[in-house]
Amino acid sequence: MPSPKALILRAPGTNCDSEAAFALERAGAVTERVHINALRENPTRLLSAQILILPGGFSYGDDVAAGKILASQFEHFLADVLREFRDAGKLILGICNGFQVLLKAGLLIQPDDEGALATLAHNAPRRFTDRWVNLAVTPNTCPFLKGIERMYVPIAHGEGNFTCRKEWILKGLRQTNQIVMRYSAPSGNPNGSQDDIAGICDATGQVLGLMPHPERHILPTQHPHWTRDGLQTEGDGLQLFRNAVEYFAA
């Protein structure tokens, strides 16, 4: 079985595409980094891949709102090909800024007539947060998270406060098993997210968005305490990317 191909989407301000490529290649994927302008010129280029990655960073400088400009391009220029990509059983992953893009483009939760049902607002307290966090994982139907129960990975964001417009929306996400990652003890909730939400998937499980950075904990020496606690076999984030690769090998 050939290795699956992962397309890593870049935009002005993206700065985690190299780490994402390293993680995927370590997991066994073939990677290609593509600029958003090139994809807009030839949207069907996406269909040659099996995995789409929206890495972290500050796309378009977060000038309007975090991820909003890139999300607008998704809605206006790439909606059809993204739908075709997902309907073909392929996988989409948005990390940090990529999560913001997926959510604001309606690829994780469909908007209604009043607009988006949820957003990623400014952290509470309102400041940029850069530290490591503990995650409790509930894989449900999400292939990226198969067999994962806990993770220890870093975060680095100023707008990661997951907030639903109404309480019934949050209840609906629980009922449809779309809440797949929560901040947990001992690190706790770093940004004020409702229900401690760190990541959600769409209704199919094929589209995953999360604020923490699994691509920054691939090697055991990336753990902040490895010199005191000893080396693990691998970093906690690697299994997420390996799951994506093995999903297509199965």
Helix (H, G, I), strand (E, B) or coil at 114: coil
Q: Which of 159, 215, 217, 223 is catalytic?
A: 215
Q: Which amino acid is at 127?
A: R
Q: Which of 122, 157, 213, 217 is catalytic?
A: 213
Active site residue 16: no
> What span, in angstroms and rounded, lies between the C-alpha atoms of 75 and 66?
16
Return the closest-CA partner of residue 25 out of 233, 247, 223, 215.
215
Active site residue 167: no
> What span, in angstroms and rounded, lies between the C-alpha atoms of 162 and 108?
13
What residue has token string 């699994």?
A: 214
Q: Is 193:155 a contact under the CB 8 Å cutoff?
A: no
| Alpha-carbon distance values, 154 to 19, 85, 150, 190, 231 (Å) | 13, 29, 13, 11, 17
SS3 per-residue string spanning 10-36: ECCCECCHHHHHHHHHHHCCEEEEEEH
Q: Which of 96, 142, 164, 201 is catalytic?
A: 96
Residue length, the chain? 250
Active site residue 164: no
Instruction: Indicate which residues carry an active-site annotation.
Output: 96, 213, 215
